[in-house]
Chain A
Amino acid sequence: MSLPTRPGDVPLNVPLRDLAVAYDCHALRILWHRHGIGDPLTAEQRLDHALAALAYQHALAERVLHSRWSIATDALAAGATLDTVGDAMGGLEADTVSHVLRWWANDQHQEGLMDDARRDEVRRLADGQGGAR
């Protein structure tokens, strides 16, 4: 299989672990070259490894981020606050969590991935009307 040169070249069914290993492999080859470890790479090899690292990196980040709004919704429904969820998401403001959650729910609804009741439930959570606790 040829190396990916863009994120779209990475098949969607590659397991997350394999994506991480592939990224690490290409990133390490560049790092080793930079620090004179192992056989030096030709310009063509550096180019191939760098583009593959970037493509795997983007695909990996996309995969990891894919379900985060769904997880945020689970946390809110179980009683977490918007502030706590924002902190867990890397320091987002509560207003940002609320705003993006509403946008996400509308987008999912428009794509037919979320029914009316579920969208309204997510909107309620985005308004800070939390769940179980």
Chain B
Amino acid sequence: MTKPTPEQVVVDSLAALEFTADTVRRLEAGRWSHAAAALTAGAGLERTADAMGLTLDALRIGLASWAGTRRGLGLINEQQSAELLRLASGEGEVV
């Protein structure tokens, strides 16, 4: 196998970086939806944060921010937004 030229290394490396960034962006697009599903099913904030590798505060803030963004884009209604904020606050946790 011949050694790649510097030009090939640049092209391949940049392609790998673009693929990485795109993959992570796609993965992260679904994470708050999964977090809401876990919380709705009774996982509780602590277990959900653990599953996401986040602190409790990061989960609360991220979920509230996601709810605000979705509400702002008209993807959820007022009631659904309020429910997400309730979950983010830890209300309704199954003890």
Q: Which residues of A contact B (CB under 8 A)?
A: 4-7, 23, 27, 30, 34, 43-44, 46-47, 49-55, 57-58, 60-62, 64-65, 68, 71-72, 74-75, 77-80, 84-85, 88-90, 131-133
Main secondary structure of the interface of A (DSSP, over half): helix
CB of B49, distance to nearest CB on chain A (Å): 9
A71 touches B13 (CB 8 A): yes
Q: Which residues of B contact A62 (CB under 8 A)?
A: 53
Q: Which residues of A contact B9 (CB under 8 A)?
A: 74-75, 77-78, 132
Partner of B24, one of A30, A49, A61, A88: A61
Q: Given that A27-B30, A88-B18, A90-B25 are contacting pairs, would A54 and B10 also be in contact in the complex, using a CB cutoff of 8 Å? A: no
Chain B residues within 8 Å of chain A by Cβ, number: 35
A68 touches B37 (CB 8 A): no
Q: Given that A5-B47, A60-B27 are contacting pairs, would A53 and B34 also be in contact in the complex, using a CB cutoff of 8 Å? A: yes
Q: Could you name 22 residue pairs across A and B whose Cβ atoms are closer than 8 Å?
A: A4-B51, A7-B51, A23-B27, A44-B41, A47-B43, A50-B41, A54-B34, A54-B38, A54-B48, A55-B51, A57-B30, A58-B51, A60-B27, A62-B53, A65-B20, A71-B20, A78-B9, A79-B6, A85-B14, A85-B17, A88-B14, A131-B6
Tell me the residues in window 22-52 of chain B with beta carbons closer than 8 Å to chain A beta carbons.
22-25, 27-28, 30-31, 33-35, 37-38, 40-43, 47-48, 50-52
| A90 CA / B53 CA spacing, docked (Å) | 22
Main secondary structure of the interface of B (DSSP, over half): helix
Partner of A68, one of B20, B42, B51: B20
Q: Which residues of A contact B35 (CB under 8 A)?
A: 50, 54
8 more A-B contacts (CB under 8 A) besides A7-B53, A53-B30, A62-B53? A47-B38, A51-B47, A71-B17, A78-B13, A85-B14, A88-B17, A88-B21, A133-B7
Q: Which residues of B contact A49 (CB under 8 A)?
A: 37
Q: Which residues of B contact A53 (CB under 8 A)?
A: 30, 34
Q: Given that A46-B37, A57-B31, A61-B27 are contacting pairs, would A51 and B51 also be in contact in the complex, using a CB cutoff of 8 Å? A: yes
